[in-house]
Structure 1
Amino acid sequence: MLVPFLIMLREGMEAALIVGIIASYLKQSGRGSYMPMVWAGVGIALLLCLGLGYGINAAEGQFPQKQQELFEGIVALIAVVILTSMVFWMKQAARSIKAHLHDSIDHALNNGKGQAWALIGMVFFAVAREGLESVFFLMAAFQQDVGIGAPIGAVLGLVVATALGFAIYQGGVRLDLRKFFRWTGIFIVFVAAGLLAGAVKAFHEAGLWNGLQGIAFNLQHTLPSDSPLGVILGGMFGYQDAPTVGELLAWVLFLIPALYLFLASNKPVRTPAVTA
């Protein structure tokens, strides 16, 4: 439940940041009449993401067991790529996202005919990217946590993100988004490492990968996967009490360089969201 909550909180905050900057700039520049177009873009993007998630989930149920394992491994790999790129994109883009969005709005609305469609398209692609990231992550997360807690956590994360985004837009709440994105970024790197290890396991069960299948360590009597703490660690980071060498190598070889690259920059990430 905690992982879907935090991921949807972060994804929702990114989307709210973008929409909030757009809405604020339209209001400040006397273009408030275009706000229905902003909400139209948001709505279309949400419908697309929901439809895609439902379609992929329905198609998965039609696969035989080995094909399901293969599908789960592919989804986990896609989620790893998306989550990692999301973390590093926000780290770089946060410094200039406000100015970039302002320029894009001016270009869309000063381009003559099709102004409304241009604005709808800009908002659509911005929100759809966040939504598609969420779809693939949640599919991978739900495969690891099949209980009701995972979808509840995802919904709660989105609700909290929406409320915080609205409060920031109204000026009633000020958050240090630099720290928010930094700490959630570190957490997401750990989550992505767990998903990668899970993908290796899924590919083995699908018969696609049979190397490095020796047991790296065995904590079944110390911290079993079905214990309360084991369940929490498994849901958050893909913990297994008896991982194979291949799964452990995938986890370590991804986690160490990814964390190093994410933390390497000494320049602070400045996010203008609180003054959008």
Structure 2
Amino acid sequence: MNANFLIALREGLEVSLVIGFLLITLIQSKKNHLIKSVIYGTIFGVIVSIFAGFFLFSTFGDLNANLEHTIEGIIQLIAALLIFYFVYWLSGQSSINISDKLKSEVKIKDNNFSLFLMASVFVIREGLELVLFVLSNAQTIEFVGMIAILLGILTAILIAYLFIKTTINLNIKVIFTLLGILLIFFGGKVFTEGIFSFVDASSLVEQIVYYAFVVISLFVLFKNNILSFFKK
């Protein structure tokens, strides 16, 4: 499965859920006059993220080979750490906790500008994370990669819609866990490439580091299940 699709799905899902919860809360609170501010803020955030992406991609491409190699290695390590943090955070969450966390992002204010700013900042934050992840997988920045990102975002919107409409029937923890498993293997790849962009090593050592990242991350993700199994 295309790594860009998974990354866009992960980031797009969180944005879609938060913006969706925000719109639903406004409707339930009978504050429909504030909905436009959220929509405009979301659109503004998407536009800023797109321009930031183009700027970073073009800047990245204009660097000399040595500097580009160094920056790519740093970005890959940061991306791997972000994936590990997501796995660590997910390991301690239930579906209820995840929903509460997402809903906690929604702080309703009777102010058009505040809602516009909140929506745009949240979208830009996640958009920049998406750009960072895609840059860490720089060799896939091409037409197919862009299509994969678009499909990932559209899939995220669909899942968020289904989750909000059928909260009881759709287990968001399962979706995030499946994403976490798939992202762990991508994280192992960029972590290994990031480290060995600075250090020379044999292919065997690279394989050991890759599988170490994957195994440790999978253990962290399922540590509660593993510990409860041995306690029985």
TM-score bucket of the superposed structures, by smaller chain: 0.7 to 0.9
Residue 202 of structure 2 is matched in structure 1 by 214
The structural deviation recorded for 1:256 is: 2.2
Residue 116 of structure 1 is matched in structure 2 by 112
Residue 138 of structure 1 is matched in structure 2 by 134
CA contact (8 A) 2:72 2:136 kept: yes
Larger Rg: 1
Q: Which amino acid aligns with 2:194?
A: A
Higher RCO (CA-CA < 8 Å; seq separation 6+): 2
Residue 38 of structure 1 is matched in structure 2 by 38
Residue 256 of structure 1 is matched in structure 2 by 215
Query: Structure 1: how far apart are the matches of 2:49 and 2:77?
Result: 19
Specify every segment of 5 or more residues in structure 2 that has no aligned partner in the other structure, as ranges: 226-232
The structural deviation recorded for 1:201 is: 3.3
- Secondary structure of the 1:202 match is coil
Q: In the superposition, relative to structure 1, how do residues 98 and 123 fare at CA in structure 2: closer, same or farther (>3 Å)?
A: farther
Q: Which amino acid aligns with 1:45?
A: G
Query: Structure 2: how far apart are the matches of 1:73 and 1:172?
Result: 40
The alignment covers a number of residue pairs equal to: 225
Residue 17 of structure 1 is matched in structure 2 by 17
Query: Structure 1: how far apart are the matches of 2:28 and 2:42?
Result: 20
Residue 64 of structure 1 is matched in structure 2 by 64
CA contact (8 A) 2:14 2:102 kept: no
Q: In the superposition, relative to structure 1, how do residues 83 and 172 fare at CA in structure 2: closer, same or farther (>3 Å)?
A: closer
CA contact (8 A) 1:22 1:101 kept: no
Q: 1:182 aligns with which of 160, 164, 177?
A: 177
Structure 1, 129-138 or 20-29: larger mean CA deviation:
129-138
CA contact (8 A) 2:79 2:132 kept: yes
Q: In the superposition, relative to structure 1, how do residues 101 and 190 fare at CA in structure 2: closer, same or farther (>3 Å)?
A: closer
CA contact (8 A) 2:42 2:123 kept: yes
Query: Structure 1: how far apart are the matches of 2:193 and 2:224?
Result: 29
Normalising to structure 1: TM-score of the pair? 0.71
The structural deviation recorded for 1:85 is: 2.5
- Secondary structure of the 1:190 match is helix
Q: Deviations over 1:245-269 (max 9, x none)?
A: 2x22431332222221111134xxx
- Secondary structure of the 2:62 match is coil
- Secondary structure of the 1:150 match is helix
Q: In the superposition, relative to structure 1, how do residues 198 and 254 fare at CA in structure 2: closer, same or farther (>3 Å)?
A: same
Query: Structure 2: how far apart are the matches of 1:86 and 1:195?
Result: 15
Sequence identity percentage:
24
Q: Which amino acid aligns with 2:155?
A: V
Specify every segment of 5 or more residues in structure 1 that has no aligned partner in the other structure, as ranges: 204-208, 217-244, 267-276
Which protein has the bigger helix share?
A: 2
Structure 1, 257-266 or 95-104: larger mean CA deviation:
95-104
